[in-house]
Amino acid sequence: MPLLAIPAWSVWRMVRGARLGDWRRPGWFGHAAWASFALLALVWLWGALSGGLDIEETCRLRHHEPYDEAYYQAHRDDYFRLFPLSQKCNAGYDLVAPWVNPAVAVLFLLLLAALTGLVGSVSSSLGGPSRRRPGSPPGSAEPGRRERRRGARRRPAR
């Protein structure tokens, strides 16, 4: 359970940040990327280690399924793939839970989306492509967040 504390904290920060409107900032996307990566690693490990150290023993003793050595030898390469995960006792029973592979795929897509958002938000906060206001003359860019704040702090001339 302690392994779930880190992604749970990141998800909590993401939800809190979304309510406050912080989802445009790089930190929000960083938490999203970290949470999806951590959950992706945990789910993948859950699936990869579902067979235990001895697949034959796991099939017979824990799942009460017959172990087919001929099937294992014929499909040996399938057991060592990174995705989709599969550890079959026989042709009809897989030790990897049915939810693991779809969860890995969805979390990987969420990780890619979060990394894309992170790169986009960092590049815009570092002064990426300038944005013009509608109706403003060409060549005039909208002032960034810092310029607006500095301008708002100045006192009017007397």
Map out the domains of the chain as residue ranges. 1-50+97-124, 54-95
List 94's β-bridge partners, or say none: 88
Q: Is the pLDDT of residue 145 over 60?
A: no
**What sign does the dihedral 22-23-25-26 (CA atoms) show?**
positive
Sign of the dihedral through C-alpha 95, 99, 1, 42 = positive
pLDDT digits (tens, 9 = 90+) for 39-55: 999 999 999 999 888 88
pLDDT at 148 over 80: no
* 99-119 pLDDT per residue, tens: 999 999 999 999 999 999 999
- DSSP per-residue codes, the chain: -HHHHHHHHHHHHHHHHHHHTGGGSHHHHHHHHHHHHHHHHHHHHHHHTTT-S-HHHIIIIIS-----HHHHHHTGGGGG-SSS---EEETTEESS-TTHHHHHHHHHHHHHHHHHHHHHHHHHHTT-S--PPTTPPTTPPPP-HHHHHHHHHSPPP-
| 128/120 Cα distance (integer angstroms) | 9
At residue 17 the predicted structure's pLDDT band, cuts being 50, 70 and 90, is confident
- Judge whether residue 16 has pLDDT over 60: yes
